[in-house]
Every structure is written in C-alpha cells, then in structure tokens.
Amino acid sequence: MTEVVRDVVGLGSRGGRQSWVRTIQILVASATVLTLALGLRSMFAPVSASSAPASATFPQAVAASTAERFAEVYFTWDESDRQARTEALSQLMVGGTPGQAGWDGKGTSTAGAARAAGFTYVDASHAIVTVVVPVTTPDADGTDATSTMSLQVPVTVVGARVWVSGLPASVGVPAAAPTGTASSFRLDAQTSTRSRPAVTQYFAALSRGDVALSETGNASTGLDGTLQYTELLDWRVERGGDDQRVGFAEVRWATPGGAVLDQEYRLVISRNGSGWQVRAATAAVPTD
C-alpha cells in the first residue's frame, strides 16, 4: 500500500521526487509573490473616502483664504461704483445670493488685510470661518475712522472650490458652533412671535456692548458701536424640542458712515421663566 501511495504522488522514482520538489517550489514561490503583492497594495493604495473622517478631508486652508478675501470685499464699497463690489462678490459667493450681499448701496468703506481667527467644522461640505479685518469708514464729520471688525463667514465646498454660501454675521467673540444643517425647515410661528422681543433685545444690546447669553454667566463680546442695530427684518424658529430651540434671524445694521448692512444669524434660544433668552449666536448655514 505504501508503495502505491509513493507511486501516486511521484515519490517512487528519482524523476518523480524531482517533479514533486519542483511543484512544491512553484507553489511556495507563487504564495510569496501573492503575499508581497497584497502587502504593497495595502501600503500604497489610497485610503477610501469612507474610511477617513469628513473633517480630515475639508480644505480648511482654502476655506480660510476664501473667507479672508470675502471679508475684504464685503467691507469695501463705494456708492459711486456699486458694480465693482457686485462683481467681486460674485467671484466668491454661490449663485442666488443678493448682488450686494445686504449692502444698501450708500456710503464708502475700505477694508484692510483680513485674517482668519477661528474655524468651525459643520459637516463634510460646510464650515464657518471667523475673520478679523480692519475697516475704515468716514464719521459723521467726514473724518476717517478705523475699527476692527469680526465676521463669521459660512463657506461650502462645491467640487474643487470653496465658496461663501450665504450672508455673513458680525460678532464679537464667537459662540458655540452649530451642530449641522437641517434637511428641511419647519416653522414654529407661535414660538417665533413669543421669542421675537428677546431676540430684538439681544441684537440691540450686542451693538452697544457685552451681552449675557445664559444664566450661567456666559457672555458674547459686543460690537462696541462699530455697527448700530436698526431692525430685526426676519425671525423664524424651527419646531422641535421644548426648552431649547434653533432660529434664524435677518438683522439690519447701520455703519458709522450711514451705510446699511443686512446679515443672517443662527441663534440658539432657551426658555427663561415665561419668556425666552438667547444662548448662542453664529453665522447661519443655509438649510435645504
């Protein structure tokens, strides 16, 4: 029986043994090549997008540069040449935004070199960049005055470019970042009406100085008169939750030189006894 097995596997003769050895060598060599190939593939193949966190792929440097350029254009205007500002903004903002980005077309203003001072990642396509920029405008007596402005700029990634996705918001020290964008907006008309006085009071106070954001003592640094609150153009609170809600405000500001700016904010509000109180304010990320 042993001899039969030896003959079958080729070990019964010298030629058979050599053939068997060559077969084993070929199998070992093939396995080695396959192992090396798989190893090299795992070493040099790019990481798939799904295996990397979305925040790691967001082009933060490009977003900061875009927001800085936008802040410089945003705070530069001349009523004698309104088209220049419109054209400059169109190179930075997504389509569908107002041509003058909230400016009423009056007065003059000049922005200096802007710098990014903060970055808030929202999701794979959206972020908010906080930019600080010196702005020079004429006072009522015609004397130029320079103030440092802080602007939160919402940005979005579209293809290979970063665009400003909506109107910015003037702020002091940035508050908490928004957690994301809503897939659809569901209006709570009753809460919008009841909380409107608190929101109006917040923006009026923000233009004058520091504003308390909650009973715990958190505060938002005010604008110190660099912008004067004029009007709450729109205030919409989203349904959902009981003691804390998210709302979107459109605010009209006036500059010392007499120009008007309309800006959009995202607010977090909470119940304060029988009323409401603003807890956080950031630039608004457009919702679907």
Q: Show the low-confidence residues of the chain (pLDDT under 70).
A: 1-56, 96-98, 173-185, 210-221, 286-288
Helices 82-90 and 60-74: crossing angle in degrees, nearest 10, is: 170
Per-residue CA distances from 49 to 26, 58, 75, 162, 208 (Å) = 38, 11, 37, 19, 46
> Which tokens hold the place of 231?
């009007």
Please give the pLDDT value at position 80: 93
> What CA–CA distance (Å, rounded) separates 220 from 210?
6
Neighbouring C-beta atoms of residue 68, cutoff 10 Å: 21
Helices 14-44 and 2-9: crossing angle in degrees, nearest 10, is: 50
Per-residue CA distances from 120 to 117, 157, 223, 275, 286 (Å) = 10, 14, 21, 30, 15
pLDDT tens per residue, range 108-163: 999 988 888 888 888 889 999 999 888 898 877 778 888 888 999 999 999 888 99
> What CA–CA distance (Å, rounded) separates 26 from 76?
75
Please give the pLDDT value at position 259: 94
pLDDT tens per residue, range 260-284: 999 999 999 998 888 899 988 888 8
Q: What is the CA radius of gyration of the chain?
A: 31
Per-residue CA distances from 53 to 45, 47, 58, 163 (Å) = 17, 11, 9, 21
Q: Average pLDDT, whole number, for the chain?
A: 78
Amino acid identity at 100: Q
